[in-house]
Structure 1
């Protein structure tokens, strides 16, 4: 691993959509790896995919290094890389765009960073993505699940 960038792998899981869900995140810098995961009692897969990204960004202290985020969620990757989020923010999520609470949170967190998203095929041969999937599904199946207030209040 290189120390001139921060690498983040993310995945989300939902047992039913909606249903119990969780996210898994790997933060990598040099030879350091940190794993994050959390489960929620009722949520959606897309929300967990986005929560995984947010959870990773919330851990970062440095803003001077580029960040590459790998995700198997085309929803998340395309929203950023194709500029959809900028339009959603500009028109205040008109038209019923989902998850505005999490998108706004991501948008604010992302501002000081230089972030590039890369889509990876899920459930394939990428060991980092597979580890995030393990973390996410274990969190979704866990006990003491948190309330996803944004989802349960209507997002």
Structure 2
């Protein structure tokens, strides 16, 4: 497969405070085509936004059973998937209080529809796509009309 014919996704998540207002950004690239996604949430964590960026990118895809590469600066996301930590968490029902069970289970189900390879990229460095995702995420976190991260707020006991 040539670079131009494989789906390439860049993602990033951000929160202002941890927890605090947060946002995610994603760029999907297929050849010359580009699509940007982002949204902001009133109360969440950085790791939730990193993972939600991946989920929202996958949810936006209409074609299933395709190979794709996701570039992220989140070692939490990369290691959880590539080192098979997630498989163990699912097998043990997130024993020991592993966080973000709602999002991880959603990702786990979605991931079965694709052939996904994660690649870690250094954040806030010289990767233009990662930097753009960071801009999208932070602009979303700083925006008006923030959404509710119900999974986080329920878990934190703060849902109004």
User: Normalising by the residue count of structure 2, what TM-score does the alignment of the two structures yield?
Assistant: 0.94
**Aligned partner of residue 17 in structure 1, secondary structure:** coil
- State whether residues 19 and 42 of structure 1, in contact with CA within 8 Å, keep that contact through their aligned partners in structure 2: yes
C-alpha deviation, 1:61, in angstroms: 1.3
Give, in whole Å, the separation in 2 of the partners of 1:4 and 1:34. Answer: 15
In structure 1, the residue matched to 2:120 is: 119
Q: Determine helix, strand or coil for the equivalent of 1:154.
A: helix
Asked if the contact 1:4/1:66 (under 8 Å) is kept, the reply is no
Task: Give the conservation status (yes or no) of the 8 Å contact 1:6–1:27.
Answer: yes
TM-score (norm 1): 0.97
Task: Determine the structure 1 residue equivalent to 2:66.
Answer: 65
Q: Please say if residues 54 and 105 of structure 1, whose CA atoms lie closer than 8 Å, have aligned partners that are also in contact.
A: yes
Indicate the SS of the match to 1:137.
Answer: helix
Deviations 1:83-124 (A, max 9, x none): 000000000000010000000000111101000000000000
How far has the Cα of 1:132 moved from its partner?
0.0
Give the secondary structure class of the aligned counterpart of 1:107: helix
- Cross-structure match for 1:18: 19
In 2, distance between residues paired with 1:145 and 1:113?
30
CA deviations over 1:41-99 (Å, ceiling 9, x no partner): 00000000000000100011112431000000000000000000000000000001000
1:107 and 2:86 matched: no
**Map of 1:134-145 to 2, 5 A cutoff?**
134-145=135-146
- Aligned residues between the structures: 155
Q: Secondary structure at the match of 1:96?
A: coil
Q: What's the Cα RMSD here?
A: 1.1
Runs of 4 or more, structure 1, over 3 Å off, are none
**Structure 2 counterpart of 1:53:** 54
**Which residues of structure 1 form unaligned runs of 5+?**
none
Structure 1 residue aligned with 2:130: 129
